């Protein structure tokens, strides 16, 4: 069974709690803005800085995270249960799906195709995608799900930021 185990101290110490389903408000379970280490078993999870799956976000794939870069920042958690097959995303140069468009189906360094720091909107045709603000899977992240249509990155403070992106791949 897939689950996320969160800890109130680094190194998997202190108070802990396990979740196997979405948590829209970590305050309700006493873990709002206190998570300092994480273990993920099974499918990936997305941790959000704000309640109700909003604000900045960070993907945690299966593994152990004894020290977090974004210490004590998370207010909600969402398990990734979506179909990861046939990934496809369309990035657009301007808001409202306007301007140049690029369709991607695999991990891509947008610098290599002259689309880095250019995207302002997108449509996810398939799969779950992680968009990064820096190369090599670095910087702020935006996780986007099948069917997502984001007409403008301006409200989420991600406009002209995407430099690298990748689809999540199913585990064999």
Domain of 112: which CATH number? 2.60.20.10
How many angstroms separate the CA atoms of 93 and 44, rounded?
Answer: 29
Mean local confidence (pLDDT), 126-130: 98
Q: Which two tokens stand for residue 156?
A: 């989420």
Which is nearest to 160 in space by CA: 123, 131, 124, 126?
131
Q: Which two tokens stand for residue 149?
A: 């249509």
Buried/exposed code over 121-147 (b: 16+ C-beta within 10 A; e: otherwise)? bbbbbbbbbbbbbeeeeeebbbbbebe
CB atoms near residue 94 (< 10 Å): 15
9 and 75: one domain?
yes
How many angstroms separate the CA atoms of 71 and 90, rounded?
Answer: 32
Per-residue pLDDT, 171: 78
73 and 137: one domain?
no
Does residue 47 carry a pLDDT above 80? yes
172 is a domain residue: no
Asked whether the CA dihedral 11, 166, 50, 30 is positive or negative, the reply is negative
Per-residue pLDDT, 1: 79
pLDDT band with cut points at 50, 70 and 90 for residue 170: confident
Task: Select from 79, 109, 124 the last residue of a domain.
Answer: 79
Per-residue pLDDT, 130: 98
How many angstroms separate the CA atoms of 89 and 70, rounded?
Answer: 27
Does residue 144 carry a pLDDT above 90? yes
In this prediction the pTM is 0.94
| Structural domain span for residue 41 | 3-79
Does residue 150 carry a pLDDT above 80? yes
Q: Bridge partners of 95?
A: none
112 is a domain residue: yes
């Amino acid at each position: 069974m897939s689950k996320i185990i969160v800890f109130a101290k680094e190194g998997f110490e202190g108070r802990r709690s396990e979740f196997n389903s979405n948590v829209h408000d970590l305050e309700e379970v006493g873990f709002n803005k206190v998570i300092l280490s994480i273990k993920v078993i099974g499918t990936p999870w997305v941790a959000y800085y704000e309640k109700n799956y909003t604000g900045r976000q960070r993907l945690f794939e299966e593994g152990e995270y004894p020290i977090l870069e974004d210490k004590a920042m998370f207010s909600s958690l969402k398990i990734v249960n979506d179909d990861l097959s046939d990934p496809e995303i369309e990035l657009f140069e301007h808001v409202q799906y306007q301007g140049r468009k690029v369709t991607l189906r695999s991990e891509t360094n947008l610098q290599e195709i002259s689309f880095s720091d250019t995207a302002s909107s997108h449509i996810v045709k398939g799969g779950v995608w992680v968009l990064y603000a820096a190369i090599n899977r670095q910087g702020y992240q935006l996780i986007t799900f099948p069917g997502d249509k984001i007409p403008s990155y301006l409200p989420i403070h991600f406009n002209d930021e995407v430099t690298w992106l990748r689809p999540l791949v199913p585990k064999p």
